[in-house]
Amino acid sequence: MRLALISFHGCPVARLGEKDTGGMNVYVLNLASELGNLGHYVDVFTRYHDVEDPQIVELGLNVRVIHLNGGPLLERKKDLAFHTASFTANMHEFIYQESIEYDLVHSHYWLSGKIAAEISRIWEIPHVSTFHTLAKTKLRAHAGEKETSYRVNVESEIMGSSNTILVLTEKEREDIRELYGVPPERITVIPAGVDAGRFHVEDKITSRKRVCIADKETILFVGRIEPIKGLNILLDALKTLSNSRDLQLIIVGGNLSGDKELTALRERAKNLGLSELIDFRGSVEQSELKYYYSAADVFVLPSHYESFGLVALEAMACGTPVVASRVGGIPSFLDDGDTGYLI
């Protein structure tokens, strides 16, 4: 089959941990790669994120990442909806110029779903949609997230027009049924996984030396620096624990220069008297993450909401104990008291 994957705002080859990059990028990367290994021809369409992005990146066997214009390079994600029409036009032009006939289009996130719905209609091919996060579930989490009625309406339209909705957990299927009124038989659950060739146990001492982590009790967080990730909760817990234990917290993710959320988090850490206990590493290469996971004594994911929580699964693959919020898709793979702890 020849497949078109659309990940409008989330480039699978973008540097992870910075604003608007995370688990979805990894998911799309792994999905495309494995589909290619199975003999399918896969093109992943995404917008340019950097002036140095080549238009076409050969990702591996049978897989290409195709960058198209879709708004200013540094456009905020909340404003990208204004640029889906131009991206759709550019995608039509690319397909026409290349004389490609796709058998199916698979969208990732609601912005991509909006584009894919049009591609599906014009080219008369099936549309499979994966949302990764939903406006109504984020609003229900009350995590400082603001979502527009426009997004809610577009998500509903995409669900109505998609041939199949693909979700990662039974919880997500239930959320879509409850909040959007979609019959469960139109929703297929296929759990996510991790690349065992990339994420596996490494020696703790060697890992600490590699990523320059002091030999003391180490708590690790990996992810975007956003209110929904619940890092304020983690800082409060660290304040309590530090009264009786010699601890350090390593935070991987965010842009060390100019990131408002990270700056606010640093200020909160200072006010709590925790600055000396916290090491902000910013975004790191994915190839280095296994060493961070292996170097830690515990991985903590205190999110207010996670549709899946891929980083927790990566930590588990590296043999690191996980403490995570009992939200979203996390309980689908983390058994409280057995494979980790839910709070």
CA of residue 78 relative to chain centroid, distance: 16
Find the CATH number of the domain harbouring 140.
3.40.50.2000
Q: Does 177 share its domain with 212?
A: no
Residue 261 lies in a domain: yes
Give the C-alpha separation, 151 to 149, whole Å. Answer: 5
Examine the domain organization and report whether 129 and 269 are in the same domain.
no
Considering the domain boundaries, does residue 109 fall inside one?
A: yes
Last residue of a domain, one of 189, 213, 236: 189
Q: Are residues 70 and 163 in the same domain?
A: yes
Regarding whether 157 and 244 lie in a shared domain, the answer is no
The structure tokens listed for 211 are: 């990523």
Q: Could you tell me if 250 and 162 lie in one domain?
A: no
Which helix or strand (DSSP H or E) is residue 278 part of? strand 278-282
Question: Helix, strand, or coil here: 176?
Answer: helix
Count of domains observed in the chain: 2
Same domain assignment for residues 54 and 118: yes
Same domain as 307, residue 260: yes
282 falls within a domain: yes
pLDDT on residue 20: 63
DSSP per-residue codes, 96-147: HHHT---SEEEEESHHHHHHHHHHHHHHT--EEEE-SS-HHHHHHHTSS---
Domain boundary among 132, 154, 189: 189
Q: Would 216 be classed as within a structural domain?
A: yes
Q: What is the largest CA-CA distance in the chain?
A: 66
265 HSE (CA, 13 A, CB side): 28
Full domain range(s) for residue 297:
204-342
* 157 and 253 assigned to the same domain: no
The pair of three-digit structure tokens given for residue 138, joined into one six-digit string: 């984020």
Q: Does 321 lie in the same domain as 277?
A: yes
Task: Give yes or no: residues 93 and 234 share one domain.
Answer: no
Judge contact between 65 and 57, C-beta under 8 A.
yes
Q: Is the dihedral of CA 64, 313, 167, 156 positive or negative?
A: negative
Instruction: Indicate whether 170 belongs to any domain.
Output: yes
pLDDT given for residue 16 in this prediction? 63
Is 196 inside any structural domain? no
- Cα–Cα dist 192/23, whole Å: 10
**Per residue of the chain (343 residues), what is the pLDDT tens digit?**
999 999 999 899 876 655 566 788 989 999 999 999 999 999 999 999 888 889 999 998 999 999 999 988 777 777 899 999 999 999 999 999 999 999 999 999 999 999 999 999 999 999 999 999 899 988 887 655 678 899 999 999 999 999 999 999 999 999 999 999 999 999 999 999 999 999 999 999 999 999 999 999 999 999 989 888 999 999 999 999 998 889 999 999 988 877 788 899 999 999 999 999 999 999 898 899 999 999 999 999 999 989 899 999 999 999 999 999 999 899 999 999 999 999 9
Domain membership flag for residue 197:
no
- Output DSSP code: residue 223: S
271 with 208, same domain? yes
What pLDDT, on the 0 to 100 scale, is given for residue 275?
95
Q: State the burial class of residue 10 (Cβ atoms within 10 Å of its Cβ: 0-12, 13-18, 19+).
A: buried
**Do 290 and 200 touch, CB atoms closer than 8 A?**
yes
On whether residue 211 sits in a domain, the answer given is yes
CA distance 5 to 116: 9
For strand 217-222 and strand 298-301, is the pairing parallel, antiparallel, or unpaired?
parallel
Residues in CB range of 123: below 8 A, 6 or more apart: 95, 101, 102, 105
Q: Does residue 65 sit in the same domain as residue 160?
A: yes
Domain end: 155, 189, 223, which one? 189
Could you tell me if 170 and 332 are in contact, meaning their C-beta atoms sit under 8 angstroms apart? yes
